[in-house]
Each structure stands twice: as C-alpha cells, then as structure tokens.
Structure 1
C-alpha cells in the first residue's frame, strides 16, 4: 500500500502521524510512505530524521479575525492544492490521511478531488478549523474523544483513538525509572509541562519543593529545555530535596511513563493518549492559551469519567499542587480507582484500529 500522510505545525499533529507510520511498518514491510508538510513547521526537521520521504508545500493558516492576510492565505491554499495534486499524481497513493494542522487543508482537499480515499484524524475533543473544513470532503473522520462526534457528519465518524498510545505499550517501567535516577520501591509522580515546559507549572513546583521533601513518594520534575537554567538557579536558593529528580527533558518518555504512578501535565491530546493507554491517573493543568480552550475540554473528558483531576492554571500554586498530589497518591483506594478508570479510557490498539479503517476504505474504493 502507498500512503500519503500530512500533518504539521505542532508535535501534537506530527507524533501521532509518525506513530501510525511506525506501527504500519512493523506489520507491512512493503508499505510506502510520503509525508507532505511545510518547510517552516517542525515536521520538516522531525520527519526526515525518521527516514521517511518528505515533500513540502507553502501554506499558512487563517487568522480568526478579519485580516488582509486571509486573502493571501486563500491564494496560497489554491496554489497549495495545485502543488499537492502534482505531488499526489507523481506518488500515486492508495490513500491520504491528514493528522491536523493547516498543511492538511490543501493536501487532503486535493486528494479528495482526485478521488483518492481520504481520512482526517482529529486528536482533540474540539476540532480545529482545518479538520472541520475537510470533514465535508473526506471519506472518514477518525476521532479520539467521543465529544468530537458532534462537530462532524455522523456517517463519516469512526472512533480509533490516538496512534501515539500504541507506542507506550509493553515498555519496561523499572528500566525507565532507573534511567532517570528514580527509586524502584517508592511511588513516583511525573510532573511536566509539555516538550518545551510551562512556566506556571515550573513556578508552582519550585514553591512546592519544601513540602515535597517531607513526602513518602518521589517526584520526577521535567522543566523543559528552555526553562532548565532559570529553574536550576531558583532550586539552588530553596534546596533540592533528595526525593525530587529534576531533568530538562526526557528522551525515553514511553519507557519512563511505564514506571510512573501519577502524572501531572498539560492536557494535550498526545499526553492523554499515552497516560490512558497505560492506565495512569493524572492531574491535568490545561493550557488556557490554546484555540477554543480545547485542552480544558480534553481534561474534563477524563475527569468526568473519574480518570483525572483538573487543576486550572488560575488556581495553581505550590500548595494546591502538592495538595492535589497527596489526595491521590497517598490514598491507595483513590489511586487504584483512578487507575482502573484511566485504563478504561485508553485505546492501546489505536494505530491498528486506524490502519484497519484505512485498509477497509481502500478496498471499498477499489471495488
């Protein structure tokens, strides 16, 4: 099968696409892939490093307010469609899948006009503009949250989960703990604010360090590369408790997650897919700076099912953070109950589910 994948802008659109590609490659060695992105997005650096063929088009996103730039974007979209058709005709794919970001717009739209089977994958509970637009033209819309159903044509929607979930299954949690200097005997909480970190979370953790020093659990605190130096200076002033391990970044996150009892993080779709597939309880601190406040809606989806606790950024302090952790990690009944409910929400076979939908669609179109 020849597959075109398009997704870009943020890691939340790119990493699920790469997870899907890797999962398909395991079972289908003869599958061919082409990734279409932009030269300005993260995908232009990440995808080629994975050894996947990459081609680019030039496109920008729409402004949500009235702007002259939107006229330019319409022109770029139309040119992007023409460029995409050329690339698609040369590669001759069996199917095209978009995983989000504005680059998907012209690519997936062009594929639909060429009568190539098409799918968009929506990771969040509230979809972005591009996927809403494309849902009118694609054959299927794959979702990760039941709440996303209402935004798309019902006949096209299929629940698959996020392919990233498949990549964290079967990892060695003990090895993961040892790789970052954690004890294998004490309960462990992982605190992080995404790949680049989050200043409000960092500030709360630093203020909570004196309290953490007295706890019977251990903390793995990931600052994000850009914040590590500043955080290190603040930690020097208040002291670094022996039960708190501080890192700028975790390169083997799936392995480390396998050994964690509780996660404190933002409510990005990829993080949620990973922690629920492993059945890890979480304290979610949604970013208030994202489109349509979708992170809070992602977080509420978990908290409504008892799999997570939501701590809004405006309520985040060192004290409230430690209090939330204590309420879960120091109560074995609550911890066990949340683990079970988190596990129920996980979709560990999400990549294979999505590929099955793709295969069925290709076979139907061929008939």
Structure 2
C-alpha cells in the first residue's frame, strides 16, 4: 500500500497530511493490513521531524508560484514549474503509488499533473471555503474530493465531493490545565491568551500584541508564537513596552511551537488569537473562544471568507486588518474576558464546528482505493 502525499505553500497544507497519515496507520493496524509506505512530494519538507516520526519519505520537487500580478519572478517560476513537473513525473513513475493525496497549494501541482498523466487515482482535500486554483483545476479529474467547509462543495462535481471537515493531528489535543501550568510555568488563576500567527508567524499580529501588551498583562498571561524570524525583535520590543516589569513573567514568547507545546498551551488557553487559515480547525477542535484576524492580501480573499464563515455560528469574533488598532483589539479581548456566558457560547459553537472524524473518513477512502488499485 503506497500513498503519496503532496501539498505546498504553508503549514496549513502540510499538517492535515500528518493527521491523515496517523489515521491510515491506525486503519492498517486494526484491519491487519501491510504497513503503508508513505511519500511526501513538495518543494520543501515543511517539518522534517514530523516526516521522520511517521516514516514519510520526502521527495523534493521544485514548483513555481504563478502570481495574479506582474512580477519578474513569474518568468523564473515558469521554468521552475516545468523542471518540477519533469522531476515529479520520473519520481512518480519509479514509485508508482496506489493513490495520490493532494492538499492544494502551488507545491502540489507537479505531483498532481504527474499522477494525472500516469492515471494514478487522485484524492484532493480543500481547506478553504473558497478553493484555491490548483484544487479547482485538480477537482475536474480527481477521483474523490473532500472539503472542510460545506460551501466549498459547490465548486466541484457533486457526485465526487464530500464534506468531511478538516483532519487535525492527535498530537495537539489539549492537555489538562494543571499540566500546562507546570510545563509553561503559568499562574493558575490568571487567564491565558494564546496567539498563533500560522506556521511562519504574522508580523501584524505581532505588532498589535506588542503594542497592547502593557495593558493586557495586568489581566492576562500571553503565550505568543512569533514566527522563527521574529522572536528577538518581538521580545526586545515587549521588554521596552511593558513598564511594570513585575508582569513580564506573564509573557511567554516562542519562535515556533511544537505539537507538545501547542497541546499544553491549548489546554490552558481561555482565548486564542489567530489568522484564518487551517488553524481555525485546530482552534475548533480545542473548543476555545477566539479572535480571528484574516490576512487582507490572501489569494481570492480566502482567509476573510474562512473567518466570517467560522464566526457565523458564534465561535469567534473577526477583526479585519484595517481595524487592527491596539484599542480595538484590547476592547474585544476584555469584552470576552468579562462575559462568562459569551465565553461559554463561543466554546460550544467551536466544538459544534469541529468534525472529529475528518481524518478517519479521508484515510478510509485512501485505503479503499489502495486495496482496489492493488488488486488490478
């Protein structure tokens, strides 16, 4: 049973693949199938440790990004994409997997095109409420299509699409608050705000947190994922901004949070502040109230659509980037902190949004295709 995963561009394309791989391993063990062989074809490994832990072989294939605006990089990326497609074809031919699972993003194009040419079964998954360009294209010939938002199903042939929800990896399930307090050295009776800017961090989120931190730390402890390139700058600015240094111990910046750290932080969090990518589904799985700040420049306004769709049932409050001033941010944060009934209703709405069996459903579809493909 050989399964090739592909997806590229961000952690939002990568981490759901890990969640699906976990479920495939469980199914293979429960159904007494031969251990699966996993491959991940993309421009970069995203998280080498994760790949190693799940015995996923990384196959590096370049991919160019086609921008919707003029850029000299478009010319270079055309040649990069051609080279990537050629390399992907020969790698795919040598492995000849039973099925290819695509998560979208420009990095998945070479693998999906190669699978199409070689007539290898294809399953794709779309995480956004409005599908990206690669998945819209692949949806025309994919054997199965899974979507995280029911609205996205309208963009694909109805006989081949299913609303599964978003796979969330088991490693970030929330831990007990007491365990998180010990691990992160938190004060037990002070509420915790978790700020996650996606796998690469988010400068505008960092800015509003740093500019608000002087007022927030009197009522909050803040766990802040800054992004690897931003940690020193954010930490230095926070040290200057906070006038009452006795509260600085309540600020916990991290460049990147491992699954264990996220599991601890989510178990302690009373509020999550995040972008509107795949992290929405992680927040929903935690059942924690959130403030969602979509990227204004995201392709096709995908993040904005995601944010308002998630907030529609009361799980989150949305602040647009144009309104992301410290006084507005602090007002919304304190409004949530001071209203227990609101926090409870937001938590319940988040839990209702989460579909816990998403990874299992997709994994089962992939295993069934593998079994049928292997018998041909």
Distance of 1:311 and 1:71 partners within structure 2: 36
Residue matched to 1:245: 251
Change (3 A) 1:243 1:47: closer
Residue matched to 1:256: 265
Distance of 1:237 and 1:71 partners within structure 2: 44
Equivalent residues of 1:206, 1:318 under 8 A apart: no
The structural deviation recorded for 1:351 is 1.4
Residue matched to 2:239: 236
Q: How does 1:1-367 map to 2 (within 5 A)?
A: 1-28=1-28, 30-38=35-43, 41-43=44-46, 45=48, 49-50=52-53, 51-65=55-69, 77=81, 80-169=84-173, 171-215=175-219, 217-239=220-242, 240=245, 241=247, 244-249=250-255, 250-251=257-258, 252-269=261-278, 271-363=279-371
The structural deviation recorded for 1:277 is 1.0
SS in 2 for 1:116: coil
The structural deviation recorded for 1:42 is 4.6
The structural deviation recorded for 1:48 is 5.4
Q: Deviations for 1:312-334, whole angstroms, at most 9, x for unmatched residues?
A: 11111222111111211221101
Distance of 2:323 and 2:151 partners within structure 1: 25
The structural deviation recorded for 1:89 is 3.0
Q: Deviations for 1:181-219, whole angstroms, at most 9, x for unmatched residues?
A: 22233332212322333222222222322322442x433
Q: What is the aligned-residue RMSD (CA, Å)?
A: 2.6
Q: Deviations for 1:45-97, whole angstroms, at most 9, x for unmatched residues?
A: 56655442122333312232467876776666565444434323322322111
The structural deviation recorded for 1:338 is 0.7
SS in 1 for 2:106: coil
Change (3 A) 1:174 1:347: farther
- Give me the TM-score of the superposition, normalised by structure 1: 0.88
Change (3 A) 1:69 1:184: closer
- Give me the TM-score of the superposition, normalised by structure 2: 0.87
The structural deviation recorded for 1:124 is 1.3
The structural deviation recorded for 1:272 is 0.8
SS in 2 for 1:18: helix
Distance of 1:297 and 1:192 partners within structure 2: 19
Equivalent residues of 2:315, 2:346 under 8 A apart: yes
Equivalent residues of 1:263, 1:280 under 8 A apart: yes
Distance of 1:279 and 1:294 partners within structure 2: 23
Structure 2 unmatched runs, 5+: 30-34
Distance of 2:366 and 2:303 partners within structure 1: 28
SS in 1 for 2:332: helix
In terms of mean alpha carbon deviation, does 71-80 or 187-196 score higher?
Answer: 71-80
Equivalent residues of 1:267, 1:299 under 8 A apart: yes
